[in-house]
Structure 1
Amino acid sequence: MRNLDVTVLRSFVAVAQCGGVTRAAGFLNLTQSAVSMQLKRLEELMGLELLDRTGRGVALTSAGEQLLGYARRMVSLNDEAFARLTHQDYAGEITLGVPHDIVYPVIPRVLQRFSAEMPRVRVQMSTTYTTKLKRQFAAGQLALMLTTETGAEASLDAQVQTLTEIPLRWFGAPQGQAHKHRPLQLAMGRVCGFRPGVIARLEAAGIPWENAVDTDSDRTIEATTSADLGVTALLDGTAPPQLAEITASDLPELDLHKINLYGLGRSPDTPVARLAEMIQEGYGTL
């Protein structure tokens, strides 16, 4: 298999842009004979005449014009890859906060893409409740933050974008009966951001309730709910397989929640901005 040398292609592009070997040699800081030798090697490799040397200057042949577009892209891609992998701006660590219930399915795909594009930049994730993430963000501990909330908090002094809206749903054990019991056994974490809105909806509907568990552990809540000892509220599409959505019941409809991205407005040519862009694209494909 024959391979094109980027160094030779760079000389070919320079000659085409400068209109001659002499000026291209000065631009590349090479001798005229070195550039001429590289062009000859390129023509021999391709088995084509790329330059029309019959006139006073140097012009491209039809084949040379076709190659020029490819050569420009290959040289540009080479320079971009080298810059991104070696420049000090593309090394270091980014702290990203994500509520644990929306890590899947977008974030793993984003992390995979980002690692492939910027392997020297490490993404350090903090996964917890939105309320705690907001405290970390306000303290400067997070560069970017995703939240699940009914609005957006301008007081955090950061640009924010709503990526999507997802409804909150009731979930219980498959074929469970806990949603029929009164008082309703509610299995939600103490600091869960959904809890105040869920309780407000229950009380507005006149449905008495009790705490089924006293915990902040997702696994404890899942175990309690899957054992049909209570019900919980989760964002649509985020429930574990051992739980089932409760559809036919007198439980009230729950709120829509926004997935917001905080920490925008940075210079576009930075790893943080690129990570934010990938997150935006990831939610755009849902």
Structure 2
Amino acid sequence: MARNLDMTALRSFVTVADAGGVTKAAGVLHLTQSAVSMQLKRLEESLGASLLDRSARQIGVTPEGEQLLSYARRMLALNDEALQRLTADDFEGEITLGVPHDIIDPYIPAVLRRFASDFPRMKIHLVSEPTRVLREMFDRGECDAIITTEAEPGPGGESLVTLPLVWVGSQGGNAWKQRPLPVAFCSNCIFRAGVLKRMDDAKFEWEMIVDSHTDTAIQAVVSADLAVHAVIKGVYARQTVPIPAEANLPDPGKSQIVLYMQSKSDPVQAALYDMIRHSYMSEWAVEDTRLRA
């Protein structure tokens, strides 16, 4: 007699593999940790194979698990596509998403593509502004959802990941060698006050080279090797690179990627919420776990 795989258990397995742990996966799935663990146990028992390597600090996937993971992703994708096509209402209207320019790539394009596919009659309006501006727009009800970069989440905000800030300068540049250190920050930059305070606490001399309302001006000054700047790790403007460790510059700190939603009960916003959380949390799970250790 043919046997059937449990789709719910498969979804938990894939989420644990992507998130790197049961606890984080439980948060993504909105389940308790014990519920996810029980689903994994039943799945392993039904297959008679160990799917996860639990010997290390971070859960890994066994060779048998890797094989199942490939099948599971395709099965879940087909399951979700079928349900969406056969049960989804014809939602119409517009939803507004706000994201600072420096964290749009590489995750938001994939979210926009998925949203457009699942809700073809919905128009999504993307707003790119600094975090402070987005928070004000969200409070006025002008955005349905915003993603921000902040030291700590504000009221109603949900932290997706915590990432380090790094110093960047021009490719092959020498601005980082100068003293006082020439720095450039947008006046709306959410990192500015914290980074400058860390430099002052370290008694590290610095000089503000340009103070602009636009990120474009800051990028131009940094790429021209006139100053250095602090950004989220992995988010580097064209012609800029991380400054070498030999510079011994003060630690610029960390930032959290925070998600705000006006309504998680609205089906369209709820779907967008899940897409955004999965996109950021699955990609940065390993980095986030290391930072929290």
- The TM-score range, normalised by the shorter chain, is 0.5 to 0.7
Displacement of 1:260 after TM fit? 0.8
Structure 1 CA distance, aligned partners of 2:124 and 2:272? 9
Q: How does 1:1-286 map to 2 (within 5 A)?
A: 80-81=84-85, 84=88, 86=90, 90-154=91-155, 158=156, 160-247=157-244, 248-263=246-261, 266-267=264-265, 270-286=267-283
Structure 2 CA distance, aligned partners of 1:139 and 1:105? 28
Structure 1 regions of 5+ residues with no counterpart? Answer: 1-73
Displacement of 1:216 after TM fit? 2.1
- TM-score normalised by structure 1 residue count: 0.67
SS in 1 for 2:88: helix
How large is the RMSD of aligned CA atoms in angstroms? 2.0
Partner of 2:25: none
SS in 1 for 2:162: strand
Q: Which moved more, 1:100-109 or 1:218-227?
A: 218-227
Structure 2 CA distance, aligned partners of 1:284 and 1:231? 29
Aligned length: 204
Letter in 2 for 1:81: R
Letter in 1 for 2:144: A
Contact 1:264 1:273 in 2 (8 A): no
Structure 2 CA distance, aligned partners of 1:116 and 1:244? 35
Contact 2:186 2:213 in 1 (8 A): yes
1:230-274 Cα deviation digits (max 9, x unpaired): 00011001102310101221210121111011116622x611110
| Pair 1:80–1:229, CA change in 2 (3 A) | closer
Contact 2:264 2:273 in 1 (8 A): no
Aligned-residue sequence identity (percent) comes to: 36
Partner of 2:70: none
Structure 1 CA distance, aligned partners of 2:119 and 2:158? 24
1:86-138 Cα deviation digits (max 9, x unpaired): 3xxx1101111111110011100000011011011111111111011110011
Structure 1 CA distance, aligned partners of 2:212 and 2:82? 53
Structure 2 CA distance, aligned partners of 1:78 and 1:169? 43
In our comparison, the structure showing a higher alpha carbon Rg is 1
Structure 2 CA distance, aligned partners of 1:177 and 1:266? 48
Contact 1:201 1:254 in 2 (8 A): yes
- TM-score normalised by structure 2 residue count: 0.65
Contact 2:148 2:257 in 1 (8 A): yes
Structure 1 CA distance, aligned partners of 2:122 and 2:211? 39
Structure 2 regions of 5+ residues with no counterpart? Answer: 1-77, 284-293
